[in-house]
Amino acid sequence: MKPIAAPHRAPAPSISARTLLAAGLVAGLALVTGCAKSEDGAGGDQVSGQQKDSGQVVVPPGTGSGPTCTVGAYGGRKLDLGSATVGFSQSEKEANPFRIAETASLKAEAGRRGVKLLTANAQSQFSKQISDVQDLIAKGADLLVIAPLNSDGWEPVLRAAAARHIPIVTIDRKINATACKDYVSFIGSDFVEQGKRAADRMIEATGGKGEIAILLGAAGNNVTTERTRGFEDRIKEKAPGLRIVFRQTGDFAREKGQSVTENLIQSKPGIKGIYAENDEMGLGAVGALKGAGKKPGEVKLVTIDGTRNAVQGIVDGWIDGVIESNPRFGPLAFQTLDTFTQGGPVARDVVIQDGSYTKDNAESDLGKAY
């Protein structure tokens, strides 16, 4: 299959050489869309009718190349992916459209390739995710794809996988371990860059002055830490007139995002902007703003993910910008495993090039959201 073109959106800024993908892997990528439906019944990917240009696109190599991993360096063995069993561990309850699309993409690509896929869902319980992966290993998984709930605490799984020389690819979130020793590759976005781009949008929306709040993601994973750091560093650098006066976790959940925002409105009635570290919390914030009698655009709201409901929020005037974080990992995860098991080099950090939604393109690009 030929790679599809990147979505027609604002390009992501360049990132450091440590995250660049080895050219050999780029050449082999086949990027297709997954199929999903949001929890509200709003459209996911269409399998008929208008085809969406929504596959993941990898940041291309520059003059340097990031570190890679091979079967020999990892201590694994060559495999025929078509005859292998792949285990996939999902971290969270699939009420979140991101997780729905992520799982659907893995299943669709496994089906397309004819690969046996074993799946497990930790239901947002880390202890269950550890036991889930151990169970996938016991059931005969030759390869593992893990969407980690937390970044720490993976030692039992890593020991069990190492004992059987099972390669591990993590998606969306990193684990605190050593690439090409404890796991092969991480596939995901540059979360610091996402935070910086969200800050740029907030600065533009607010004029760079006033009090703003952060709805933090769940504690204990690199996504929250890095999206926060990128946002705060860019605000400090570019907009000293913007003051972050409120930080509280919304656990990446809509209901929690709404309740936290209700408290925010009570304690900081003059708040000018809210940065929600995912769309679900942002949509919860919209509910709180509506309940408080606020008008669309009265409080500037910037979110990260790219769900259909959040992009519709831009069209409706409640959200000022959404930084994309594409959940359709299936093609890229399986291509990474295929290249690796055939003996080719794969990047230890496979970084996705994210787009964005603004008032200029939200309506026209709504069909590309998930």
CA distance 74 to 179: 9
Tell me the pLDDT of the chain averaged across its residues.
Answer: 87
Greater pLDDT, 14 or 130: 130
Mean per-residue pLDDT, 176-200: 97
Of 97, 101, 99, the C-alpha closest to 35 is: 101
Q: Per the confidence metrics, is the pTM higher than 0.75?
A: yes
Q: pLDDT grade, residue 76 (50/70/90)?
A: confident
- Whether pLDDT at 64 is above 60: no
Of 318, 316, 312, the C-alpha closest to 357 is: 312
Residue for token digits 């201590």? 75
CA distance 80 to 324: 34
For residue 225, give Cα distances in angstroms to 74, 222, 228, 315, 327.
Answer: 28, 5, 5, 29, 19
**Model confidence over 292-317: pLDDT tens digits?**
999 999 999 999 999 999 999 999 99
Predicted confidence at residue 55, as pLDDT, reads 77
- Whether pLDDT at 327 is above 60: yes
Residue 132: strand, helix, or coil:
helix
Q: How large a percentage of the chain has pLDDT more than 90?
A: 80
CA distance 272 to 26: 42
For residue 334, give Cα distances in angstroms to 19, 76, 94, 107.
Answer: 19, 17, 21, 11
Residue 128: strand, helix, or coil:
helix
**What is the residue-wise DSSP string for 157-188?**
HHHHHHHTT--EEEESS--SS-BTTTBSEEEE
Predicted confidence at residue 54, as pLDDT, reads 61
